Amino acid sequence: MSLIIKDLSARVKDGAQILNGINLEIPKGEVHAIMGPNGSGKSTLSKVLCGHPDYEVTGGSAELDGQDLLAMSVDERSRAGLFLAFQYPVEVPGVTNANFMRAALQARMPKGETVDAVDFYKTMRNKMAALGMDTKFTARAVNEGFSGGEKKRNDILQMMMLEPSYAILDETDSGLDVDALRIVSDGVNAMRAPFRSFLVITHYKRLLDYIKPDVVHVLYKGRIVRTAGYEMVEHIEKNGFDFLKSEE
Amino acid sequence: MDFPQNMSMEEAFALAEAEAKLKQVLKESTVRFENAVIPNRLNEDWRFGRPHKHAVALAELLQSDTPSQGEATVQHAGDAAVPVTSEDDDLRQTEMLMPTIGSDALLGMHLKRFGSGYALYIEEDTKEPILLTYKTDTLYTPSTFIMLAPGVKAHVIEQHYGNEKGTIFATRNIQVAEGAELKVELQPYGCARCMVITNIQNMGGKVVHYTHHFACDWAREETVAEIYTPGADNQLFSANNLICNQVLDQHTRQIHHVGGATSNLLYKNVVDDTATGIFAGNIYVAPCAHNTDAYQSNRNMLLSEKATIHSLPGLEILADKVRCSHGSASAPMDEEQLFYLLSRGIPRDEALALVSHGFLQDVVDKFERS
Ligand SMILES: Nc1ncnc2c1ncn2[C@@H]1O[C@H](COP(=O)(O)OP(=O)(O)OP(=O)(O)O)[C@@H](O)[C@H]1O
Ligand SMILES: [Mg+2]
């Protein structure tokens, strides 16, 4: 069981080609990291996997536990177990965090069953407490007026509520203060399990010191150009991406 | 005319002059009604969404001998509520002096049926909202007067029920004294035709006004919110979901006669099917009204290619040192918001409903927080 991406290419609809044949296999239970310079296509890859309408797949395939991911609608992909914590979480005015999460959980219930409100609020409050979030955030509109760090935490809260089998974290560390970084990483580590994998996108070693990856990939100009172990993180932290110049 | 005994000559003179002026104004306003024409397409304020068709039909109905017939109820008002009668000349005069936004002729016709509705003289804080309802299945022309004494806090909800075939043409005069706070909601439901002319006179208090139309075929609102005293605060909100062939025609004026006061407007519509939303707003800041804060924002979400929006925000600022802005945006649903909900596994239909409902709920939240 794994997420298998083969020769995946994509472009902005009616625009530039961004992904140029991505190959990636993430088995269940593993944590993979993706690093790479700004603009190399990391966020695009994660959004293409979720089915963002801005992009058009121009070739290749993606399989989630043997199912054709690219044939599914955006919401089906989520219910099939894929989750993306966004680099820039979106504000949704007028929809409370609680209603949002309840609708997402309801969509996962068998026909004819409804989410139990008492259990739901209890679970949500516990997870918020674990993330150091004030419970008043349940009644606030999704991400509206949240600080940068609060938005990131809110996305992680959603991940903890939805318990996906494949979670992509796109620069979740950016905007988090030192304590929040530790709290969020603890939350992620607590979710590590043989039936779940993570794809962690980041620019910094400090996150990967908390969430130790099994494999590290380097994405450059829309392709995976290196796949290595943790030593790659240290190399990039010390020397930057100069070594990629040979890829020109 | 009888003068109070302890009145000085100057005061008596001033009072006499004021009375004479009022007589003149009333005479002029009679002329105003006589000269006013029934709105047509050439009338600036009746230009869009073919509302003049409805205006003509409304005028025909008002000119016919159809009587004003309806049921008015009031709850939780204590002794603050007094039924309006055709003998009440003070209230009639108040209505005669009401500003309209292009509907003098219609107001004149409303006055001919004057004598129904409620006047609320509110002198104590309300514990629960005063609930006013007007109901008809023919034609009904009630008048509402809300007068809030200094320092009093009140909440009033006015509901119009047109039972699908009924026409309700209502006027509303709202006067708020210094330090008073009024929350007031207008909720027309299921009227074939709904017309409401509102005048808010703020003398240094706070007015939070919210309108929400539901299932009315055609509705027109003219709202003139005036500020007469520094420190006054008018907050105008509206949120509507328009479907089928509905037309909602909203006109507003935020008038600052004096400076040092605030007015704020947020009107939002979700427009679907072949419905039409019209917003024409204006902020007027008088020459001496320095240090005014006035904002106006009209936002529309278009859910169908056949839906129509006309949005005409406007400013007329004659003073300096003011902070004013107006904005208008009409666009389809925000794709990023929709994607965010979908990406959490919420099915498309439900995600659409949540985002469009949220777009309007945002106004309700702001109204409730104000
Ligand atoms: N919707 C879009 N429209 C136009 N250009 C886009 C769009 N999405 C991505 N791009 C372009 O594709 C390239 C890759 O962007 P992407 O956001 O995937 O980079 P990234 O690797 O996540 O960068 P960063 O580290 O800065 O987050 C950039 O040049 C970007 O401008
Ligand atoms: Mg990115």
Provide the CATH number for the domain around residue A221: 3.40.50.300
Q: How far is the CA of A186 from the centre of ligand 1 (A)?
A: 29
Q: Tell me the Ramachandran region of residue A132: left when phi exceeds 0, alpha when psi lies from -120 to 50, beta otherwise.
A: left
- Confirm if B221 and B211 have CB atoms less than 8 A apart: yes
Nearest to A93 among B339, B342, B362 (CB): B362
Written as tens digits, the pLDDT of chain A (248 aa) is: 899 999 999 999 999 999 999 999 999 999 999 999 999 999 999 999 999 999 999 999 999 999 999 999 999 999 999 999 999 999 999 999 999 999 999 999 999 999 999 999 999 999 999 999 999 999 999 999 999 999 999 999 999 999 999 999 999 999 899 999 999 999 999 999 999 999 999 999 999 999 999 999 999 999 999 999 999 999 999 999 988 887 65
A155: in domain: no
For chain A, the C-alpha Rg in angstroms (whole number) is 18
Q: How far is the CA of A134 from the centre of ligand 2 (A)?
A: 28
Closest CA to B25 of B93, B87, B81, B102: B93
- Degrees to nearest 5, angle at CA B53 with B51 and B57: 115
Question: Collapsing DSSP states into helix, strand and coil, what is residue A202?
Answer: coil
Q: How far is the CA of B25 from the centre of ligand 1 (A)?
A: 66
Other beta carbons less than 10 A from residue A152's beta carbon: 28
Give the binding-site residues of ligand 1, using a 6 Å CB cut-off: A 12, 15, 18, 36, 38-44, 54, 87
Residues found in chain A: 248
φ, ψ of residue B285 in degrees (nearest 5): -115, 115
Nearest to A74 among B342, B355, B361 (CB): B342
Beta bridge partners of A216: A33, A228
Q: What is the pLDDT of residue A236?
A: 94
What is the least distance, in Å, from the CA of A247 to any CA of chain B?
A: 34
Counting the structural domains of chain A, the total is 1
Whether A73 and B348 lie within 8 Å, measured CB to CB: yes
Beta bridge partners of B302: B271, B332
Distances in Å between the alpha carbon of B145 and those of A162, B94, B221, B222? 53, 9, 17, 16
What is the least distance, in Å, from the CA of B198 to any CA of chain A?
A: 28
Q: What is the pLDDT of residue B17?
A: 82
Q: Which residue of B has its CA nearest to A80?
A: B345
Other beta carbons less than 10 A from residue A179's beta carbon: 10
Whether A104 and B346 lie within 8 Å, measured CB to CB: yes
Whether A107 and B347 lie within 8 Å, measured CB to CB: yes
Written as tens digits, the pLDDT of chain B (370 aa) is: 455 566 778 877 877 887 787 777 667 667 777 778 777 767 778 777 666 677 788 888 999 999 999 999 999 999 999 999 999 999 999 999 999 999 998 999 999 999 999 999 999 999 999 999 999 999 999 999 999 999 999 999 999 999 889 999 999 999 999 999 999 999 999 999 999 999 999 999 999 999 999 989 999 999 999 999 999 999 999 999 999 999 999 999 999 999 999 999 999 999 999 999 999 999 999 999 999 999 999 999 999 999 999 999 999 999 988 999 999 999 999 999 999 999 999 999 999 999 999 999 999 999 999 9
Ligand 1, atom 29: closest residue by C-alpha: A39
Element (H, E) at A48: helix A42-50
φ, ψ of residue B158 in degrees (nearest 5): -115, 120
Beta bridge partners of A213: none
Q: What is the pLDDT of residue B5?
A: 64
A residues 52-71 lying closer than 8 A (beta carbon) to B: 52-54
Q: What is the pLDDT of residue B1?
A: 46
Q: What is the pLDDT of residue B31?
A: 76
A115: in domain: no
A110: in domain: no
Q: Which atom of ligand 1 is nearest to the CA of A15?
A: 4
Q: What is the pLDDT of residue B15?
A: 78
Interface test with B, best of A49, A69, A72, A74 (most B CBs within 10 A): A74
Nearest to A50 among B343, B357, B365 (CB): B343
Q: How far is the CA of A87 from the centre of ligand 2 (A)?
A: 6
User: By residue range, what is the domain housing residue A11?
Assistant: 2-92+165-247
Distances in Å between the alpha carbon of B294 and those of B232, B233, B238? 12, 10, 17
Half-sphere exposure of A147 (CA within 13 A, CB side): 8
pTM of the model: 0.86
Which residues of B fall below an 8 Å CB-CB distance to A? 335-337, 339-348, 350-351, 354-355, 357-365
Distance (Å, whole) CA A240 – CA A129: 37
A121: in domain: no
Distance (Å, whole) CA B226 – CA B72: 27
Whether B342 and A52 lie within 8 Å, measured CB to CB: no
Whether A93 and B359 lie within 8 Å, measured CB to CB: yes
A119: in domain: no
DSSP-derived letter for residue B257 is: S
Whether B344 and A92 lie within 8 Å, measured CB to CB: no
Distances in Å between the alpha carbon of B172 and those of A205, B76, B104, B167, B256? 65, 19, 15, 16, 19
- Residues of A within 8 A of B354 (CB-CB) are 92, 95, 99-100, 103
What are the residue boundaries of the structural domains of chain B, listed by start? 18-333
Q: Which atom of ligand 1 is nearest to the CA of A171?
A: 27
